[in-house]
Amino acid sequence: MAEATLLLGGGLLAGMLGGLLGLGGGIVLMPLLRFVVGLSAARAAGTCILAVFFTTVGGTLRHLRQGQLELRSIVPLALSGALACALFSLLFAYLARRDGWLDLGIGLVFAVIAGRMLLSGVSRRAGLVDQQGETQVRGPLWLKLAIGTAGGILPGLLGIGTGGILVPALTFLLRSPVKTAMAASLACFSVNAAISAAFKAAQGHVAPRVALPLCIGTLIGANLGAALNRRSSSRLVRILFGAVFTCVSIRFIISFQGAAP
């Protein structure tokens, strides 16, 4: 019962973060599953990406109801990301036998995301102003395909999200409004998460008992986070989570060093 309550609460927090900042929530779930629940790196990644799917779907639906995204404008992003995710999910079977390398990869990605969150929290330029009424992700097709491909690699290879990559790429490279970029990030990641979760479940790297309360929590939290996104600049939240997950990234990297022969 205590573990189920912990997982439900962790899923709720992850979902709220995902809906608020356009992230999948894996930055909360992975350390919870790896270091608190005690799953192997591979099972933590598989279970995490399944729960993150519910975060992204819940957050995407809420953003769509708020009229923040035109889906047709992100089709190239979603399709290229889906293909990359499927290809790199095949490589996950190789990494699944090497917990230390998975921990290192996840730690490095978390360090990048934490740094970006801190930067966007303290920089005045990072808080871009939304263009009123703009709901499309505009830009050249080749650049959308490149960004989508980059966004599909990490969900397949490491079982974690790329909101920390997609959101700045969409805002700074394609000049999308911030909240439109967040909605687009969640929508693209929902496709990637579904594909990655399917592969990892087939490979036997999902823990159903752990996943159920997580999924319930993330689905509820994602809707709450998306609602908060409409009313908040989220700058303080970015600074707080950036600081916390700098420490989390270090914990993953230390795990790799402990596993190294």
> For the chain, how long is the longest CA-to-CA vector?
56
Nearest residue to 211 via CA among 23, 42, 54: 54
DSSP the chain: -HHHHHHHHHHHHHHHHHHHHT--SHHHHHHIIIIII---HHHHHHHHHHHHHHHHHHHHHHHHHTT---GGGGHHHHHHHHHHHHHHHHHHHHHTT-HHHHHHHHHHHHHHHHHHHHHHHH-TTTSPPPPTT-----S-HHHHHHHHHHHHHHHHHHS---HHHHHHIIIIIS---HHHHHHHHHHHHHHHHHHHHHHHHHTT---HHHHHHHHHHHHHHHHHHHHHHTT---HHHHHHHHHHHHHHHHHHHHHHHHH--
Interatomic CA distance for residues 123 and 101, integer angstroms:
33
Angle, CA 191 vertex, CA 108 and CA 156 arms, to 5°: 35
The structure's pTM equals 0.80
pLDDT of residue 127: 46
Distance, CA of 231 to CA of 112 (rounded, Å): 27
Name the residue ranges covered by the structural domains of the chain. 2-259
pLDDT block averages, 10 residues each, the chain of length 261: 86 78 75 90 92 82 81 94 95 80 75 71 54 79 94 86 76 82 87 95 93 88 71 60 70 64 49
**In contact, 165 and 52? CB cutoff 8 Å:** no
pLDDT of residue 188: 93
Residue by residue, what is the 3-state secondary structure of 199-232? HHHHCCCCCHHHHHHHHHHHHHHHHHHHHHHCCC
Q: What is the pLDDT of residue 201?
A: 94
For residue 34, give both structure tokens.
């790896």
Amino acid at 189: F
Instruction: Identify the residue whose tokens are 């708020």.
Output: 66
Instruction: Let me know: does 84 contact 153? Beta carbons within 8 Å.
Output: yes
